[in-house]
């Protein structure tokens, strides 16, 4: 698997983990910025610093929480509506997956198997 394939699957946290936890893994500056590593968060290579990686991940998590808190404190109706919309959408998708799993028992029916069942075989 290439770095591009991992990035395309939106596994930026995995790429960050590799960067901070393996000695000989390094990325060009464009990739580092794309996976959320700023210039001040870079480490000297070859070398590793897992603690710095955890610090960067925590900082990324706090940014999202800070955005939510700031939106509610400033009474930014547009940002609040966006947050609520995304939350409701996640709940709808999870509920739809749960209902589908209950109804189908996770079995997948092909066109041929359905035709076979409908013909009374």
Query: Could you write out the DSSP letters of every residue in 24-64?
Result: T----HHHHHHTT--GGG---SS---HHHHHHHHHHHHHHH
What does the pLDDT read at residue 67?
61
Q: Is residue 111 part of a domain?
A: no
What does the pLDDT read at residue 28?
92
What does the pLDDT read at residue 17?
86
What does the pLDDT read at residue 66?
55
The model's pTM: 0.50
Q: Is residue 10 part of a domain?
A: yes
What does the pLDDT read at residue 43?
92
Q: Are 1 and 13 in contact (CB under 8 A)?
A: no
Domain residue limits at 70 = 3-103
Q: Is residue 51 part of a domain?
A: yes
Which mean pLDDT values do the consecutive 10-residue runs of the chain (121 residues) have? Answer: 82 85 90 88 90 82 60 74 79 84 71 77 56
As a whole number, the mean pLDDT across the chain is: 80
Q: Is residue 118 part of a domain?
A: no
d(CA 101, CA 107): 8
What does the pLDDT read at residue 106?
61
What does the pLDDT read at residue 91?
85
Q: Is residue 67 part of a domain?
A: yes
Q: Is residue 64 part of a domain?
A: yes
Q: Is residue 36 part of a domain?
A: yes
Q: Is residue 7 part of a domain?
A: yes
* Tally of domains within the chain: 1
């Amino acid at each position: 698997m290439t770095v591009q394939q991992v990035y395309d699957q939106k596994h930026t946290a995995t790429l960050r983990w590799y960067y901070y936890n393996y000695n000989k893994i390094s990325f060009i500056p464009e990739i580092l910025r794309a996976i959320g590593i700023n210039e001040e968060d870079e480490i000297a290579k070859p070398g590793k610093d897992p603690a710095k990686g955890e610090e960067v991940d925590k900082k990324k998590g706090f940014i999202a929480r800070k955005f939510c808190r700031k939106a509610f404190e400033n009474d930014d109706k547009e940002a609040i509506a966006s947050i609520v919309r995304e939350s409701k959408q996640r709940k709808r998708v999870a509920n739809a997956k749960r209902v589908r799993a209950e109804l189908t028992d996770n079995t997948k029916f092909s066109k041929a198997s359905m035709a076979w069942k409908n013909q009374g075989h």
